[in-house]
Structure 1
Amino acid sequence: MKAASVIIPAHDEAGYIGPCLEAVFASDLEGTALQVIVVANGCADKTAQKALDHASSERNLLVIETPQGGKLQALELGDRAAHHGTRIYLDADVIVAPDLISQLVAALALAAPRYASGTPSVARAQSALTRAYARLWQRLPFVAQGVPGFGIFAVNAAGRARWDVWPDIISDDTFVRLHFAPEERLKVPAHYSWPMVEGWHRLVRVRRRQDRGVAEITARFPHLAQNEGRARMGAGDVVRLALQDPIGFAVYGAVSLAVRLPGPGGWVRGR
């Protein structure tokens, strides 16, 4: 029988965990046994209770509460509680399409190590600045052609065996993705909705944190760099992007320049 464990780390996500869980439980599972684990870590709100509100006798839902904050520690706790070899790691503010989970499980039904994610759609932002940035960002080869895995990524049992405990790092999605060569990463057509941070200052801070996360992995795990396989953009590609969306190009370029200036790069919610 097909089966998977969905692990959702959640820090102060009372306003988002409900819709996230409802989308998961509304999935067309096609005979897949699903275990859902919410790890409410360091929460000062009612994230755990909001998650428990979605429990029922027909749903295999486990809510773990820990006073210690930190996404990586939450992922570790979720893995320890997982019953199934196929793991789907899902952010608490992501909304999955009804067919995404079943497509991920089917794609990972292999003995060989594999990594998979869906096709991202950036949720409509409130600010015009973020909407412009997101338009351009979604056209980048890394996003449009690759399998970046932000918001949701999954591995089969053989894939999860490629690392032991979760390290204390900034970028969990980059860490996992780089454990797989490009040909081992699978992108399924089903979509998911992922929110982008709002406004100039948050865009710069989060982009700076992302860059530092990649640099951290390169420094601590240099052997993973060989798996990057990121498509490079030529001058013609850059010109086409600029002509297609000059406003988005300008905003994206300005943020890219701003992140090179000194400034804070710590975690920021951005919404």
Structure 2
Amino acid sequence: MAAQANGHDRDERGGNATLSVIIAARNEEGYIGECLQSLLDQDDSAGPVEVILAANACTDDTAGVAASYRPAFEARGWSLNILDVPEPGKVNALNAADSVATGRALIFLDADVRLDAEILGQLRQVLETGTPRYATGTLEVAPAKTWVTRHYARFWTQLPFVQGGTVGAGLFAVNRVGRGRWDTFPDIISDDTYVRLLFTPDERIEVPARYHWPMVEGFANLVKVRRRQDAGVREIHGLYPGLPANEGKPGVTRSDLLRLFVRMPVSFLVYTSVHIAVRLRSDNTGWSRGR
């Protein structure tokens, strides 16, 4: 298990916020507005919320767009804290925002995700416990703009890993005692996989409310991001060999693939083509969002 050196300090850190929503953003001016609006549209079951946006090495107006929403957050009695993080890197931004968060539960949210109005309240409810908990919403891939991404997403969402729930791509949350499972975020590719595997399947919960996660558009971008994802999984297996035992989800069998091929042959071929392209050159070891 990862270091827990600061766990007791984090449990005692108190503030007015029930939930801290942490967003690491770099050059997200085209997406951050809808993300923040979906937070403002949450129902009252969310309770007091603080939003911490870590704008890291941005060369666009991400911070300026976000700041325009501050009056709306203040009108609701919530806070929006925008951090200017000069160093690039998602992990660096996560650590900067996490270090100032005061909520009893922490929600880590991608800047291009939109939320259903009930999701923060449902996450709050399942995280209000004295035992370690990891939670996420029901993932829904946002409508794709390109033919290839539409078919890839159609196939991907039917895979056992996704159907099994608690995927956590783009949104995951932990309570304070769960946050004690690790110290700072390590400098790795797949922070979301790392955190999810710090919890056993019985400690992970998927709430019914949905969050809408966009998949990258086009064949080349799908290959690029899939390479990064595969590299992230290999990295975790290498650095933290005990964590994959917490996966608790079935792998893809030949019978699964055959069944899906019969149901959606075109989507199967698109997904397989991306998979083959990744295997032809799998040397990507850095972070990439594909857009």
The normalised TM-score by structure 2 is 0.90
Q: Which amino acid letter does the alignment assign opposite residue 194 of structure 1?
A: W
Aligned counterpart, 1:32: 47
SS at match of 1:237: helix
Contact preservation (8 Å) 1:205, 1:264: no
Identity %: 48
1:165 alignment partner, one of 184, 187, 202: 184
SS at match of 1:154: strand
Deviations 1:85-115 (A, max 9, x none): 3000000000000001111111111111010
Contiguous gaps of at least 5 residues in structure 1: none
Counterpart-to-counterpart distance in 2, 1:54 and 1:156:
27
Deviations 1:238-258 (A, max 9, x none): 221111111111111111121
Instruction: Quote the offset at 1:180 in angstroms.
Output: 0.5
Aligned counterpart, 2:259: 240
Matched, 1:49 2:49: no
Instruction: Quote the offset at 1:264 in angstroms.
Output: 5.1
2:32 alignment partner, one of 17, 29, 32: 17
Contact preservation (8 Å) 2:224, 2:290: no
Counterpart-to-counterpart distance in 2, 1:232 and 1:92:
30
For the aligned residues, what is the CA RMSD? 1.4
Are the structure 2 counterparts of residues 264 and 126 from structure 1 closer, same or farther at C-alpha, using a change threshold of 3 Å?
Answer: farther
1:1-271 equivalences in 2 (<5 Å): 3-30=18-45, 32-56=47-71, 57-58=74-75, 59-263=78-282, 265=284, 266-271=286-291
Contact preservation (8 Å) 1:7, 1:37: yes
Counterpart-to-counterpart distance in 2, 1:111 and 1:239:
44
Contact preservation (8 Å) 1:118, 1:189: yes
Deviations 1:1-53 (A, max 9, x none): 98110000000001111110010011013261101100000100111111110
Counterpart-to-counterpart distance in 1, 2:154 and 2:110:
22
Instruction: Quote the offset at 1:237 in angstroms.
Output: 2.2
Deviations 1:177-224 (A, max 9, x none): 000011111000101111101111110110010000011011111121
Are the structure 2 counterparts of residues 5 and 15 from structure 1 closer, same or farther at C-alpha, using a change threshold of 3 Å?
Answer: same
Deviations 1:152-196 (A, max 9, x none): 000011110000011100001000000001111100010111110
Instruction: Quote the offset at 1:269 in angstroms.
Output: 3.1
Contiguous gaps of at least 5 residues in structure 2: 1-15
Instruction: Quote the offset at 1:268 in angstroms.
Output: 3.1
